[in-house]
């Protein structure tokens, strides 16, 4: 299929891009990798009158540390993030999740910012951003603002980014020392959209008790979701079978995943329970190994 007619512009500065999007008066779309938008246009689910190609804007790409935080330019390719030493060393949960994003060919073109802005409830990068307590920077002709991940996703493919705003960067705070992370998902085939998944980050003390926990489910609701009750239950406890079982029960008690040809709601719920259990178990184990290594080095 082919998309309906549209106008196209490829600005070389952010200011020019913002003016073009503002002039489109809600009828414009930003394109970078195009791995989600182009199929939607081909099926005519999306009909923008103007495409604003932001690939030629240098300040929108790159991976760097700034004031201790990870800053990923919106047009940074997912493949570049997957290979980044900065991300692997400081933000391993993102590194663990990225190989699950579609296929290598898609990651070569797909962008980090595009995945977040698209807001697919099964998107791996969205769940990691939420689990890490990150935020995005967005810009318009009206100025620049930040949106916390907890306030960003409001529905399936719906965010609080306005029609005249461009997502310019993804910003992730550093996890505390001794944090273990894990990402698990299940899909019909590798590269397919996840039927269910979980991203976990756990920080433990010298006794192996949880000091801080983050658990996010993907594919379980219209948006990725943090599981605050499960996180609170873990804090102060070691990961015994009983603690794990209760945390998983709290994390999945109220979820109602959709049913479709790929899996029923009941199956997806069971899969979410298993993915949450695996992610928490592995995150605790990695935190313990990190704690042991720090003791040996001291």
Structure pTM?
A: 0.96
3-class DSSP state for residue 276?
helix
pLDDT value at residue 297: 64
Mean pLDDT of 120-133: 98
Output the pLDDT for position 291: 74
Total Cβ atoms within 10 A of residue 228: 13
Q: How far apart are CA 31 and CA 213, in angstroms?
A: 35
Enter the tokens of residue 187: 């899909």
Average pLDDT, integer, range 118-137: 98
Name the burial class of residue 147, with classes exposed (0-12), middle (13-18) and buried (19+) by CB atoms within 10 angstroms of its CB.
Answer: middle
Mean pLDDT of the chain, nearest integer:
96
First-to-last alpha carbon distance for the chain, in angstroms, is 62
Each residue of 225-265: pLDDT tens digit? 999 999 999 999 999 999 999 999 999 999 999 999 999 99
pLDDT confidence band for 42 (50 / 70 / 90): very high
> For residue 200, what are its two tokens?
């976990």
Mean pLDDT of 19-29: 98
Domains of the chain: which residue ranges? 7-53, 58-172, 179-297
The encoded tokens of residue 179 equal 């944090």
How many Å separate Cα 276 from the centre of its chain? 16
Q: Is the pLDDT of residue 116 over 70?
A: yes
- Band (pLDDT 50/70/90 cuts) for residue 295 is low
Structure tokens at 56: 């030629």
DSSP annotation of 260 reads: B
Residues 194-214 have a mean pLDDT of: 96
The two counts, helices (H) then strands (E), for the chain are 12, 14
Task: Report how far Cα 8 is from the mean position of its chain's Cα atoms.
Answer: 28
Separation of alpha carbons 240 and 249, rounded Å: 14
Given pLDDT bands bounded at 50, 70 and 90, which one contains residue 73?
very high
pLDDT of residue 298: 62
Percent with pLDDT over 70 in the chain:
98
**Model pLDDT, residue 290:** 81
Structure token pair of residue 129: 């951003």
On whether the CB atoms of residues 136 and 55 are closer than 8 A, the answer is no
Q: Is 166 helix (H, G, I), strand (E, B) or coil?
A: strand
Residue 47 confidence (pLDDT): 96
Contact call for residues 234 and 202 (beta carbons, < 8 A): yes
**CATH numeric code, 58-172:** 3.30.465.10
Residue 292 has pLDDT above 80, yes or no: no
CATH architecture for the domain at 7-53? 2-Layer Sandwich (3.30)
| Alpha-carbon gap, residue 286 to 179, rounded angstroms | 8
- pLDDT of 113 reads 98
75 pLDDT higher than 70: yes
More confident: 76 or 190: 76
Q: How many CA atoms lie within 13 A of 295 on its CB side?
A: 10
Bridge-based pairing state of the strands 158-159 and 153-155: antiparallel
**CATH topology (fold) of 179-297:** Enolase-like; domain 1 (3.30.390)
Instruction: In whole angstroms, give the CA distance from residue 147 to residue 176.
Output: 22
Give the rounded percent of residues in the chain with a pLDDT score beyond 90.
Answer: 95
């Amino acid at each position: 299929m082919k998309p309906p007619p549209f106008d196209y512009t490829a600005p070389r500065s952010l200011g020019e891009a913002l003016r073009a999007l503002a002039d489109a008066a809600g009828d414009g779309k930003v394109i970078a990798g195009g791995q989600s938008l182009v199929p939607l246009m081909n099926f005519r689910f999306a009909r923008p009158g103007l495409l604003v190609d932001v690939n030629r804007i240098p300040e929108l790409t790159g991976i760097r540390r700034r004031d201790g935080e990870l800053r990923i330019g919106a047009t940074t390719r997912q493949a570049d993030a997957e290979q980044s030493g900065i991300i692997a060393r400081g933000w391993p949960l993102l590194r663990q999740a990225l190989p699950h994003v579609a296929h290598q060919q898609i990651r070569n073109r797909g962008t980090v910012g595009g995945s977040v802005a698209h807001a697919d409830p099964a998107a791996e990068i969205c769940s990691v951003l939420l689990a890490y307590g990150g935020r995005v920077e967005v810009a318009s002709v009206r100025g620049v603002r930040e949106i916390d991940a907890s306030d960003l996703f409001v529905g399936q493919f719906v965010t609080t980014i306005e029609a005249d705003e461009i997502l310019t960067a993804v910003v992730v705070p550093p996890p505390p020392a001794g944090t273990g992370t894990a990402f698990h998902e299940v899909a019909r085939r590798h590269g397919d959209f996840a039927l269910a998944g979980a991203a976990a980050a756990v920080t433990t003390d010298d006794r192996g008790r949880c000091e801080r926990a983050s658990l996010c489910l993907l594919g379980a609701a219209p948006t990725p979701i943090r599981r605050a009750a499960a996180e609170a239950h873990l804090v102060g406890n070691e990961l015994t079978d009983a603690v794990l079982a209760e945390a998983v029960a709290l994390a999945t008690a109220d979820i109602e995943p959709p049913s479709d040809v790929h899996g029923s709601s009941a199956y997806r719920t069971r899969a979410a329970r298993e993915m949450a259990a695996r992610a928490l178990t592995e995150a605790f184990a990695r935190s313990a190994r990190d704690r042991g290594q720090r003791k040996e080095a001291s």
